[in-house]
Structure 1
Amino acid sequence: MKETVIFTPAPDAPRRARRLMIQGTSSDVGKSLLVAGLCRAFANRGWVVRPFKAQNMSNNAAVAVDADLSSAVSLYAPGSGGNDAMKVGDERPDCGEIGRAQALQARACGAERSVHMNPVLLKPESDIDCQVVLRGRVLGRQSASAYQTLKPALMPAVLDSLERLSQQADLVLIEGAGSGAEAYLRAQDISNMGLAEAADLPVMLVGDESRGGVSAAVLGHRLLWSVSERARVAGVVVNKFRGDPAVFAPAGDAIQTATGWPVLGLVRWFDGATRLPQEDSLALDVAARATSPTLAGAAKPLTIAVLRTPRMANTDDLDPLEAEPGVVLHWVQAGEPIPRAADVAVLAGSKATRADLEFVRAQGWHHDLHAHVRQGGRVVGLCAGLQMLGRMVRDPLGIEGAPGESEGLGLLDLDTEIGGDKRLLDLDAVDSISGCRVTGYEMHMGRTQGAALARPWLRLAQATGERAEGAVSADGRVMGSYVHGLFASDDFRHHWLKQMRGDIVLGAAGDGAPVNAYEARVEAALNAFAAQLEVDLDLDAIWALAR
């Protein structure tokens, strides 16, 4: 197996950005949201800010338009057991992919998304395998153990991407991954203290007060870090705080006494986080997502049942629907039937289409879906969901798992073969069928064909011409598309909702924001969190910690 990673170093130029790394005491302490809030807060002060995360693991991704093809070479030698058919795509050589969290952070900065903001993206395909994406382009599939061997070879590209961002900004905020003190990962680390040491970064450690044990977590990190690593910690932030700060004060004093690290502030629990895209579908495993607020006096809400498959991806496609008054999203868990009262059933994206298709069958959901359509319900497939709705999904090269083919659900007259180059496309078009503007992106490796394509869901008109996209069944009750982010386009979302049920009531949301302004609600949430951080933290002191 080859493990050579090729990249083009940045041209020599003086570094001008201050840099600060934000590490966490564990996963899900709120690092991504905190970085997004700090990005917006410092950008609001007039600074040029850029986010960076060396390595992210998420099946929620976004398209960036500056893929670095010099980095995108196959990891696999022919006959190595990997997929030697994965090559650098030439369909859209300027497009790449990064984690959804870094896309939100870029938005918070007011910056274009860049592959250098997240040079290594890991997209899990099973419990022990993931697709490796370097600077926006697919390298191939690696097992967890093989990836640990590969990681040191990725460090030069990581450092180069950080350097490129540093030449563009006044401040680079660098997010760590998981816990920074996992001793068994330290030797190959490229995203926490390994990166901090290699790039000479000061570190701000973030703990989560909401789960308890924040003092022990901070002290445990100090115990596990080396002397040089401890010296990098400039302070501690306690996140997701609820209660009276005066009650927590003795704990803060104890942390500082035991570690020598000052507690820089308590960041209060931010309810507005639910209005921002989730970093990963793993958030669905932590707690049930809150359903949308229904308008007082409104008609029966439109119920959308989303099938919760193990490898579902890009679940933020559904956030605009979940935010709609008059809409209730029901996340159908393993062992549950699709509710008979559901108006629409949704198959979302997936990082392992055939495996999730087999899971759908194992739950008996394939029978439920056919019954749902017979009884007048509707079914929607997004990206991999579209592939599942067809007759057959083939993966002859084993790109997403073992080579083979799986029978689809047979709700659309389509066949898909997974292979070839990954299609990455940023989209801003007008749908001539609905007359609505549509924004979003495509990110998939499958190619789909069949008679159902003669009835497209969308006809996307751009300066380069018009093309058909997606498919609709002859009776109009089953539809699918490869476009992610469809429902974030307000006019299109409302047009579609009226199609699903004409009596749906569209009005103002519970927080006063109009429902025809989903993107405005995201902006309002970012600004609200930035304003909260101005109160909860001493941003001047944090600026001074960066170097």
Structure 2
Amino acid sequence: MFQGTGSSVGKSLLVAGLARALARRGLAVRPFKPQNMSNNAAVTAEGGEIGRAQALQARAAGVAPGIHMNPVLLKPQSETGAQVVVQGRVHATARAREYQAMKPSLMPFVLDSFARLRAEADIVLVEGAGSASEINLRQGDIANMGFARATNTPVVVIGDIDRGGVIAALVGTYAVLELEDAALVRGFIVNRMRGDPMLFAEGMAQIAARTGWAPLGLVPFFDGARRLPAEDAQDLAEQPRRDGAKCRVAVPVLPRISNFDDLDPLAAEPEMELILLRPGMALPGDVDLVLLPGSKASIADLQALRAEGWDTDILAHHRRGGRVLGLCGGYQMLGRTLSDPEGVEGAAGSVPGLGLLAVDTVLSGEKRLAEVHGTTLADGQPFTGYEMHIGRTTGPDTARPLLRLADGRADGAVSADGRVAGSYIHGFFADDAQRAAWLARLGAAAAPAPHDAAVEAALDGLAAHLEAHLDMGALLRLAR
């Protein structure tokens, strides 16, 4: 089990790289994260959802993602509350204090999922959540030492030298752990080293001496990580300005943005400049497309968009002849009204949308989770993707759907002038033909290299990177 001194120290990436490295050695590998908190989710073949990081780790291991790889997924809807997904399905909605009381009842689901993976694998790589040293949350813990103790799983603690203070972070983690918890820790890894690794040789020795943990590797910063999906919105990398870009796409980064890996294939295109609009920024007047991404709480994010003044900017962009595309929650925001009569995502009520599409959305009913494929109606280009949404959208513009699914259903809507469109489908920009068609509409050409090939190359590069800098033999000897 890989736990961290804090959030975003690189646990997800290291597990993905190790999954690929061990799979290349011929082992049957399964990733597992007892509890994840992320609005970046993936749909599994069973029709459930798990954290996007575990889907990437499954891909690295050469297996299809499954609901048991992440049995508890928390999807934040507000500052204090989240949707609780258990073994792929919505289980409850809970505020933070309510969830703390709920956790012990979720441990049987966690242990059940873990047992299923152990039965089918040579090795299970377990990823912790947040920090191993959060002793204030230790009672009832299912994500870190609580899980490790329940399953007698050996633990490796990861620290991030790039953020500074890594000696204190690792030694401090050792200092606050209960004796029974500390006994499960077998070693440590220092991640994201920049510069000469010899400069930290003494640091590694000091950590080992003060903790008794085995030093298992000092891992240099891996630049190829930018080609892999980010798990958390705060990890969305700022995109470089591309002076030779043929088109510019602006994306408002809203507080509850979800499924933002929709952006990754676009960010990799050399003839496209992707602009991430952060709070306080104005929408540039020369962008070709405004893309409204998915949202875990569409009404709350629409209010945030208005608070930033981006609604005025988007309407002005459209009046100048610009294009607008909304995906899932972003599609809902483009309509005339957005209603939540049952309080599914927050307080019950209805708000006006941006009015760029003649559609109305009501948030109700069960969440739809499914892998899909089909074609765009405008040009017959194929796509693959997935649905992950609640609500029903109706209105005159749905008579001009954007997509036709293979089962015959129409999806999305297009405005009468053809410059505004919306869809509930995630992931279709990852389809090379579909992405090339969108770029062509914006006056740019897609790169010849397939997107999937770039992701696979990044995973292979990460695996080789870890093979070179971790004591793989020692890691395998620690595993039971």
Normalised TM-score (structure 1):
0.86
Q: Find runs of 4+ consecutive structure 1 residues off by over 2 angstroms.
A: 290-294, 428-437
Corresponding letter in the other structure for 2:20? R
Task: In structure 2, list runs of 5 or more residues that go unmatched.
Answer: none
Say whether the 8 Å CA contact 2:288–2:322 is kept in structure 1: yes
The 1-side partners of 2:240 and 2:346 are apart by 34
RMSD over aligned CA atoms reads 1.2
Which residue, out of 303, 312, 336, partners 1:391? 336
The 2-side partners of 1:362 and 1:64 are apart by 36
Q: Is residue 2:270 matched to residue 1:290?
A: no
The 2-side partners of 1:34 and 1:184 are apart by 26
1:337 Cα shift? 1.9
Which residue, out of 2, 9, 12, partners 1:32? 12
Say whether the 8 Å CA contact 2:366–2:390 is kept in structure 1: yes
Say whether the 8 Å CA contact 2:377–2:402 is kept in structure 1: no
Say whether the 8 Å CA contact 2:436–2:445 is kept in structure 1: no
Say whether the 8 Å CA contact 2:239–2:273 is kept in structure 1: no
Task: Deviation per CA, 1:285-322: give whole Å up to 9, x if none.
Answer: xxx5123756xxx5x53110101211111111011001
Which residue, out of 457, 472, 477, partners 2:419? 477
Task: Deviation per CA, 1:467-512: give whole Å up to 9, x if none.
Answer: 211111011110010000010001100101111x23x2444xxxxx
Task: Deviation per CA, 1:423-479: give whole Å up to 9, x if none.
Answer: 00111334454332211100001111111111111122x3xx422111110111100
Partner of 1:73: none
The 1-side partners of 2:446 and 2:228 are apart by 21
The 2-side partners of 1:107 and 1:186 are apart by 31
Alignment of 1:85-96 (within 5 A): 95-96=47-48
Alignment of 1:353-364 (within 5 A): 353-364=298-309
Say whether the 8 Å CA contact 1:241–1:267 is kept in structure 2: yes
Alignment of 1:85-484 (within 5 A): 95-284=47-236, 288-291=237-240, 298=244, 300-431=245-376, 433-460=378-405, 462=406, 465-484=407-426
The 2-side partners of 1:38 and 1:192 are apart by 19
Task: Choose 531-540 or 189-198, whichever is displaced more.
Answer: 531-540
The 2-side partners of 1:497 and 1:436 are apart by 13
Say whether the 8 Å CA contact 2:74–2:85 is kept in structure 1: yes
Which residue, out of 476, 493, 496, partners 2:435? 493
The 1-side partners of 2:468 and 2:103 are apart by 39
- SS for the counterpart of 2:19 is helix
Q: Is residue 2:471 matched to residue 1:538?
A: yes
Corresponding letter in the other structure for 2:95? S
1:118 Cα shift? 0.3
Task: In structure 1, list runs of 5 or more residues that go unmatched.
Answer: 1-20, 67-94, 508-513
The 2-side partners of 1:45 and 1:186 are apart by 36
Identity percentage over the alignment? 54
Corresponding letter in the other structure for 1:290? Q
Corresponding letter in the other structure for 2:240? T
Which residue, out of 454, 457, 473, partners 1:521? 454
Q: Is residue 2:44 matched to residue 1:44?
A: no
Say whether the 8 Å CA contact 1:394–1:417 is kept in structure 2: yes
Partner of 1:69: none
The 2-side partners of 1:143 and 1:527 are apart by 40
Corresponding letter in the other structure for 2:141? D
The 1-side partners of 2:409 and 2:105 are apart by 41
The 2-side partners of 1:439 and 1:293 are apart by 28
- SS for the counterpart of 1:397 is coil
Task: Deviation per CA, 1:334-376: give whole Å up to 9, x if none.
Answer: 2222110111111111011101111112222222111111101
Partner of 1:23: 3
Task: Deviation per CA, 1:19-50: give whole Å up to 9, x if none.
Answer: xx000000010000000000000001110000
The 2-side partners of 1:491 and 1:351 are apart by 28
Task: Deviation per CA, 1:389-443: give whole Å up to 9, x if none.
Answer: 0011110111100011111110001011101100001113344543322111000
Say whether the 8 Å CA contact 1:292–1:326 is kept in structure 2: no
- SS for the counterpart of 1:264 is strand
- Corresponding residue pairs, total: 480
Task: Deviation per CA, 1:492-536: give whole Å up to 9, x if none.
Answer: 00101111x23x2444xxxxxx44x11110000000000111111
Partner of 1:70: none
- SS for the counterpart of 2:316 is helix
Normalised TM-score (structure 2):
0.98
Say whether the 8 Å CA contact 1:131–1:142 is kept in structure 2: yes
